[in-house]
Amino acid sequence: MHGPSTDAARFARGLNSVTNGNEVWRQLKAFATPFAFEHLTVLKRTVDLPRRITNAIVYIDAPQGFAAEFDREGFGPDHPLITRALQRLEPFSNAETNATHLTMTQRRVLQRVSVSLNVRDGWTFPIARDGQFEGIVMLGGLKPDMSPLPCSMLHLAAHTAFTRSQDIANGTASKAHNLTNREVECLHWVAAGKTDLEIAVILSISARTARFHIENAKRKLNVATRVQAVAEALKVHAIAA
The answer to whether the CB of 40 falls within 8 A of the CB of 138 is yes
What is the mean predicted confidence (pLDDT) over 11-22?
81
Secondary structure letter of residue 88 according to DSSP: -
Nearest to 79 by CA among 41, 38, 132: 41
Between β-strands 121-129 and 92-93, what pairing exists: parallel, antiparallel or unpaired? antiparallel
What is the mean predicted confidence (pLDDT) over 28-56?
95
Instruction: Give 120-138 pLDDT, tens digit per residue.
Output: 999 999 999 877 899 999 9
Domains in the chain and their CATH numbers?
4-170 (3.30.450.80), 181-235 (1.10.10.10)
Residue 173 pLDDT grade (very low, low, confident, very high; cuts 50, 70, 90): very low
